């Protein structure tokens, strides 16, 4: 699963980046609606959020471009990722319904505590949009099971404490991922630090989805959007 920030470097570029990702063979794509205080994100994705907002990104435009992308690539599941301020300001019911109308399959809201999101999750369920929940190494076995009972689609396993983009030692994850596997029968995704082919190979047989976010944005920053397809292909070569 790959990740882009909508409107970074521009909305036209966002569409080109997604086209390249699909051509390179990604399985699903996370579309981030930019927010001024993306608390789960490290400096790379934070910078992309700031650039998108400075360039005029709006929630309405993000929905429009997301709808265009789901029509361009109907075989690829798309998800929204953003922060609860965005959904709250948009209106929970409206956000859920607009997400459905745009053709997206699920939503990731990392700063909405599982215990405090009943109203929002109910609206997602009414709209047939899947809530994607997160596990972390600090999540207790009991809470993992509680989350699993409400989760749909897959569960996103955060590889470590902290924010996106920092280095992760994937060889230390076996005990944690074994706990995740016991807690849910849903597919597991793992992100926070996946940046090269070796990381993906390490995860084979442990999770179903490797999540690549900051690494792609670094490639865009350093080499331009034309390098995205080659980078994505290199992860699974």
The catalytic residue positions are 30, 41
List strands edge to edge, sheet with 29-32. Answer: 2-5, 29-32, 78-81, 106-108, 130-135, 155-158, 188-191, 209-210
Provide long-range contacts, Cβ within 8 A and 24+ apart, for 46-54. 47/217, 47/221, 48/5, 48/8, 48/217, 49/5, 49/8, 51/8, 51/9, 52/5, 52/6, 52/7, 52/8, 53/7
CB 210 within 8 A of CB 194: yes
3-state secondary structure of 66: helix
* Rounded-to-integer distance, Cα 46 and Cα 35, Å: 9
Q: With 0-12 CB in 10 A as exposed, 13-18 as middle and 19+ as buried, what is 125?
A: middle
The DSSP-derived string for 181-205 is HHH-SS-EEEESS--SHHHHHHHBT
């Amino acid at each position: 699963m790959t990740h882009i920030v909508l409107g970074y470097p521009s909305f036209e570029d966002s569409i080109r980046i997604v086209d390249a990702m699909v051509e390179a063979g990604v399985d699903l794509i996370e579309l981030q609606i930019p927010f001024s205080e993306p608390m789960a994100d490290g400096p790379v994705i934070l910078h992309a959020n700031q650039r998108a907002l400075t360039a005029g990104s709006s929630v309405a435009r993000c929905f429009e471009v997301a709808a265009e992308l789901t029509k361009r690539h109907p075989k690829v599941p798309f998800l929204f990722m953003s922060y609860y301020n965005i959904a709250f300001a948009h209106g929970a019911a409206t956000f859920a319904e607009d997400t459905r109308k745009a053709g997206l399959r699920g939503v990731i809201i990392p700063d909405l505590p599982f215990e405090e999101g009943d109203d929002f999750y109910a609206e997602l369920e009414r709209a047939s949009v899947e809530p994607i929940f997160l596990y972390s190494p600090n999540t207790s076995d009991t809470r993992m099971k509680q989350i699993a009972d409400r989760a749909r689609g897959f569960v996103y396993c955060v590889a470590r404490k902290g924010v996106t983009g920092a280095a992760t030692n994937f060889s230390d994850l076996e005990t944690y991922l074994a706990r995740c596997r016991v807690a849910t029968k849903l597919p597991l995704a793992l992100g926070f630090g996946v940046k090269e082919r070796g990381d993906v190979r390490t995860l084979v047989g442990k999770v179903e989805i490797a999540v690549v976010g900051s690494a792609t944005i670094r490639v865009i920053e350093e080499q331009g959007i034309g390098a995205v397809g080659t980078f994505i292909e290199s992860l699974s070569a």
